[in-house]
Structure 1
Amino acid sequence: MPAAAATKPPIEESVSKITRHSHLLAAQLQTLRSQMYPPEAKKTLKTFTSREAAMMVGIAESTLRQMSLDGESAAPELHGKDNRRRAYTLAQINEIREHLAKKRPKEALDFLPRRRAGEKLQIVAVANFKGGSAKTTTTVHLAHFLALQGLRVLAIDLDPQASLSTMFGYQPEIDVEDNQTVYGAIRYDEGQRVPLASVIRKTYFEGIDLVPGNLELMEYEHETPQAIARGDGRGEGMFFRRLGSVIASVEDDYDVVLIDAPPQLGYLTLGALYAASALLVTVHPAMLDVSSMNQFLKMTSDILQVIEENGGHLHHDFIRYVLTRHDPNDVPQVNIVALLRSLFGEDVLAPVVVETTAIASAGLEKKSLYEMARGTVGRDTLNRALESVDSVNQEILNHLKQVWGRT
């Protein structure tokens, strides 16, 4: 008798397999997050030494100590032997800034550079549709840098993958429910639409609020063509005006809005480009990345011309290319940087973000360099990385101040 044929296991359908993998990975990520951040724990911002606090405010450390003794500043936490080591929170540092700005009005903007009456809200879109250009990393570091200067920042995560939200401690498929992204504020269904203020979340980082993202944002990409076909959303309700309109509803609460745009040129990205007063294009100086950026610029140009033909006037106070993950010892990269500078001149930021293990190490911990504790990576490595990122962020802040009419 012939041997019985071996019974093959049934082939799992693709939808079933992908769904199963999604559930497995989500469960594991939740387990890992529970280990890193137990339910009773929340992500917190480190405190700053009196020396660091004095440097941030722009005064001598001895002045800060005397202010504390005189009761002119927030009382720091005392640590170490004999309680001699002082530690300040960012909230306390901002209190000191506000006190000094009132006490020395001629130096007020040096202590607290928030926008004044008549200065427009700065909306900065960070965009590129090439993965690996450090778009989200750039957004996070800029948000943290501006908040450390005392500015009020709103970060909007427009990317359905929600990497920005993850950096702020949110797991998008668990912590962000339906209608809790910007989609809830710009959706076409009026009965379900909510004010932008209702989806803004406070974060652990003093001075930064967040509009989180998740896969729900894809609904806007699917619904917009249908809305256009129906003739919905005219005037301020047109798809490219909707984001800017809802941001205007909260503009009194912030100095700068940062938009982490999706890595593709869809309706959300177009809305971000139209809402923005400034545009940062992140570029990794490698030939494939630059070729991809070329396609991004070509497609953006074509589509924005169509928007202008339909009554959408665009004006950005500045457009800058931010060179990221740059290895100054890589000759092909150096040549590409030289090419970009020769073509675009001052539109390429002079400082660059260098390739460094410090940023990679911080990313693994879902932190920026500004949150890294000394000793986590080598001191020299961390200092070089911070110097690089600080230079880029300071240059961007200088552009914002110029728009506000400050020297």
Structure 2
Amino acid sequence: MKKASRVMTTMNMRPENMIESSAEKISRQSQLLSAQLQSLRERIYEPNAIKTLKTYTSREVAGLLGIAESTLRQMSLDGEGVIPDRHDNGRRAYTLEQINETREHLARKRPNDALEFLPRRRGSDKLQVIAVANFKGGSAKTTTTVHLAHYLAIAGLRVLALDLDPQASLSAMFGYQPEFDVDENETVYAAIRYDDRRRPIRDVIRKTYFSGIDLIPANLELMEYEHETPQAIADGHGRGDEIFFRRLSSVIREVEADYDVVLIDAPPQLGYLTLGALCAATGLLITIHPAMIDVASMNQFLAMMSDLMYVIEERGGVLKHDFIRYVITRHNPNDGPQVNVVTLLRSLFKEDVLAPAVVETTAIASAGLEKKSLYEMSRGSVGRDTLNRALESVDSVNKEILRHIKEVWGRS
């Protein structure tokens, strides 16, 4: 960002008849686009350009909690638990924060069913750190991450979403435009950098509009870690928690008690940041669009990743994930070649390929244009049947991932 400012200053000082350099042209176009994106955001999220989450009806809340709607209504009448707002038509409207408060109330009231109402980890349950990775564009890596984060939060879990991708797509989904909203030393780079400007990870964690989810945003400064690590290794930062592949897991441990799940949106390349994510992770999700060119690309990704994992293990790193699963995304079940690819993957990787797949749908594309997940879309924003089919697909994938998490915690 400082470099861009210097370029713009140079442009302002340049005589009018001097030809614009490529660096200056790209910088100018980047700033024009940034300004336009900021303007669009202000129009979409009026009046304060801040994202907000929809409210839930009594029927939706009862379904999420697994209780009868009449029970929820009676709780409200008796003043038991939270008191929801009411629309002009008299219908009750619950925020997600109120739903989570109701979960906690029911867990206290019915201790035998506490885990059903509030499935958070407890006692010796291990923090789940799940990295979502692939370096092929279009594999829906960020879309998978944000939908899983929202699903887990709606289920009552405490989630930390860690954007490790300098392109900051996950941050944008949570309403942050990196050029405007994320200043210098406000990404996870601040917590893992090698100099005296290092900060505690708590300093860069932000609350989000989505109750139950905190975020560590990203911006281009994350690339500094890729540039500085070779020199840091040469300077002796190569032992214990100081070695590059342990730094991320070390800082995550500082906030371990605050969360049930940490979701890492890994960069789309196998650099030092991605290796740190792989070492910090207890679970790994590899997203794959079922087209042969994408599968060929993923094969190269897996080959390079395995080679680097061996190097890390030789340096004393421990890479034992509780689960590694391939997530089929953007799947068209009516497309013959795609079906063949999915069949191939399932025959090769067996149960490591999640049984459900995320179908290709205009609903996810429409939600993405508004920087939303399907869980944020209001009824009527897209066709009811289209939205329901899309939600059913995404729910089935996320439910299966949650099942794996619960199995690690010793729950059926």
TM-score in terms of structure 2 length = 0.95
Q: Tell me if 1:170 matches 2:176.
A: yes
SS in 2 for 1:209: strand
- Pairwise CA distance, 1:113: 0.2
Q: Cα deviations across residues 50-103 of structure 1 (Å, max 9, x unaligned)?
A: 00011111100000011111111211111133x2x1111111111111111111
Cα offset, 1:41, TM superposition: 4.4
Residue 12 of structure 1 is aligned with which of 20, 23, 46? Answer: 20
Tell me the secondary structure at the aligned position of residue 285 of structure 2.
strand
The residue aligned with 2:193 is 187
User: 2-side partners of 1:402 and 1:226: how far apart?
Assistant: 41
State the 4+ residue runs in structure 1 displaced beyond 4 angstroms. Answer: none
1:69-218 mapped onto 2 (5 Å cutoff) = 69-81=77-89, 83=90, 85-189=91-195, 191-218=196-223
8 A contact 2:120–2:156 mirrored in 1: yes
- The aligned counterpart of 1:5 is none
Cα deviation code 1:176-199 (max 9, x no counterpart): 00110000000000x100000000
Contact 2:283 2:323 in 1 (8 A): yes
Offset at residue 35 of structure 1 (A): 2.0
What amino acid is aligned across from residue 230 of structure 1 in structure 2?
A: D
Q: Deviations over 1:141-171 (max 9, x none)?
A: 0000000000000000000000000000000
Taking the aligned partners of 2:225 and 2:171, their CA distance within structure 1 comes to 18
Unaligned segments of structure 1, at least 5 residues: 1-7
User: What does 1:293-304 align with in structure 2 at a 5 Å threshold?
Assistant: 293-304=298-309
How far is 1:10 from its partner?
4.7
The letter of the residue matching 1:124 is I
Q: Partner amino acid for 1:256?
A: V
What displacement does 1:39 show? 6.0
- The amino acid across from 2:185 in the alignment is N
User: Which secondary structure does the structure 1 equivalent of 2:411 belong to?
Assistant: coil
Question: Shift in Å at residue 47 of structure 1?
Answer: 0.4
Identify the range of structure 1 (292-301 vs 227-236) with the bigger mean alpha-carbon deviation.
Answer: 227-236
Identity of aligned residues (%): 75
Measure, in 2, the Cα distance between the counterparts of 1:52 and 1:27: 38
Letter in 1 for 2:54: K
RMSD: 1.1
Partner amino acid, structure 1, of 2:216: V
| CA–CA distance in structure 2, aligned partners of residues 96 and 346 of structure 1 | 36
Q: Secondary structure at the match of 2:264?
A: strand
> Tell me, what secondary structure is at the counterpart of 2:287?
strand
Q: Are the aligned partners of 1:121 and 1:256 in contact in 2 as well (CA < 8 Å)?
A: yes
Q: Distance in 2 between the 1:37 and 1:337 partners?
A: 39
Say which of 361, 370, 393 aligns to 2:375: 370
**Contact 1:317/1:403 (8 A) holds in 2:** yes
The question of whether the paired residues in 2 share the 8 Å contact of 1:352 and 1:388 is answered with yes
- What CA distance in whole angstroms lies between the structure 2 residues aligned with 1:23 and 1:95? 43
Instruction: Establish whether residue 49 from structure 1 lines up as the match of residue 57 from structure 2.
Output: yes
Per-residue CA distance 1:187-218 (angstroms, 9 max, x = gap): 000x1000000000000000000000000000
Alignment of 1:385 with 2:390, yes or no, is: yes
Q: Name the counterpart of 1:26.
A: 34
Tell me the SS of whatever aligns to 2:360.
Answer: coil
SS across alignment from 1:249: helix
The equivalent of 1:315 in structure 2 is: 320
For 1:331, the equivalent position in structure 2 comes to 336
- Post-superposition Cα deviations, 1:336-377, rounded to whole Å, max 9, x if no partner, equal 000000000000000000000000000000000000010011
> Which has the greater radius of gyration?
1
Which of 244, 247, 259 is residue 254 of structure 1 equivalent to?
Answer: 259
5+ residue gaps in structure 2?
A: 1-15
Alpha-carbon displacement from aligned partner over 1:275-324 (angstroms, at most 9, x marks no partner)? 00000000000011000100000000000100000100110000000000
> 1:278: which partner in 2?
283
Which one-letter code corresponds to 2:411 in the other structure?
Answer: R
SS in 2 for 1:107: helix
In structure 1, give the amino acid aligned to 2:69: E
Aligned-residue offset at 1:12 = 2.0
Cα offsets for 1:206-257 (capped at 9, x unmatched) = 0000000000000000000111122224211100000000000001000000
Given residue 221 of structure 2, which amino acid in structure 1 is its aligned partner? E
In structure 2, the residue matched to 1:3 is none
Secondary structure of the structure 1 residue equivalent to 2:97: helix
Distance 2:23 2:47 in 1: 32
- Partners of 2:40 and 2:53 lie apart in 1 by 20
C-alpha contact 1:159 1:262 (8 A) present in aligned 2:
yes
Q: Is the 8 A contact 1:200 1:211 kept in 2?
A: yes
Q: CA deviation at 1:11?
A: 3.3
* Secondary structure class of the residue paired with 2:132: strand
Instruction: Specify the code of the residue in structure 1 equivalent to 2:169.
Output: S
In the other structure, the counterpart of 1:290 is 295
